[in-house]
Amino acid sequence: MEAIFEQIKTVLSQEWVRDIFWAAVIIAVTAFVSHLAKKGLKTFLDWDNNPLPSSSIIINIVRAVIWIVGGSIVLDSCFGINPNALVTALGVGGIAISLGFQDTLSNLIGGIQMTFMKIVQPGDNIDVGGDVGVVQDVTWRHTTIRTKLGETVIIPNSVISKTALVKLPPATQLKVPFAVTNSDRSMDEIAEALKKTAQIAAEEVSPVTQEPAVFFSEITEYGFRGSIVMRIEDADKTGAATDAVVRAIAHETR
């Protein structure tokens, strides 16, 4: 037994074993700090008064910085490798790598620009090249949107940077056009009736966060046209709410 302990002591006294041990400790501490930073940032970004968008690219950038610092400490203190000298030595190779990862870098830069300039944020309702949906997240490589049909569309950040981007009204907003024909009531009476009917119908699907407003847009030989604009709480139920409003106001427009 004593011989075994002596062998263990001899092994632990070797310099390379100590280096590996401390490297493992630093890596474990780095992973713990990265995990804490991820949880803390997620809580902060989900805060309503937070000035930054709640995109995961911010969390990923902070975690990458933490791991770069931790790796530099391991190289310098445990293995005697100067990180600055290593970067310089790999300068030519870095250029070649950057050319090979040109699309990845383009997506990363595009994601950073969109996030910190608040061009695209989670919750925005956007149209990119015909793809319409609500932004779910902006990562270091792509932006994810969800369409009204529940489909998930993944768009590279570089595509959004180079394509015309249209910011649409919030996905919770309903706009229901209508046409009134052969009515003896005044426009004010019809507007009040439509607002009341639309609110009752929409609230059966989702709570109404903005009361209906009626806007008349055209007078025809048969009557007049307009739209009802309102907002509900649940963006996933806008289709069902629109259908409910259309069915409810049908008798008011005849």
- Ranges of CATH 3.30.70 domains, the chain: 173-252
- State residue 109's pLDDT score: 84
Alpha carbon distance 101, 84 (integer Å): 22
Judged by average pLDDT, the poorest of 139-148, 178-187, 190-199 is 178-187
The whole model's pTM is what? 0.61
CATH class of 173-252: alpha beta
**pLDDT tens digits, one per residue of 111-165:** 888 888 888 888 889 998 888 888 998 888 889 998 877 889 999 988 888 888 8
Q: Could you tell me the sign of the dihedral formed by the alpha carbons of 105, 79, 27, 42, in that order?
A: negative
For residue 212, is pLDDT > 90? yes
Question: How confident is the model over 79-84, as a mean pLDDT?
Answer: 71
- State residue 227's pLDDT score: 94
Tell me what percent of the residues of the chain surpass a pLDDT of 70: 84
- State residue 67's pLDDT score: 87
Alpha carbon distance 124, 138 (integer Å): 11
Alpha carbon distance 181, 224 (integer Å): 7
- State residue 245's pLDDT score: 93
| CB 51 within 8 Å of CB 117 | no
Query: CA nearest 108: which of 137, 135, 136, 139?
Result: 139
- State residue 88's pLDDT score: 63
- Ranges of CATH 2.30.30.60 domains, the chain: 121-167
Q: How many CB atoms lie within 10 A of CB 52?
A: 14
What is the third-level CATH fold of 121-167?
Answer: SH3 type barrels. (2.30.30)
- State residue 155's pLDDT score: 92
- State residue 60's pLDDT score: 83
Band the pLDDT of 6: cuts 50, 70, 90.
low
- State residue 247's pLDDT score: 92
- Count Cβ neighbours within 10 Å for each residue of 7-26 and write b for 16 or more, e otherwise: eeeeeeeeeeeeeeeebeeb
Band the pLDDT of 178: cuts 50, 70, 90.
very high
For residue 11, is pLDDT > 60? no
More reliable by pLDDT, 103 or 205:
205
More reliable by pLDDT, 248 or 101:
248
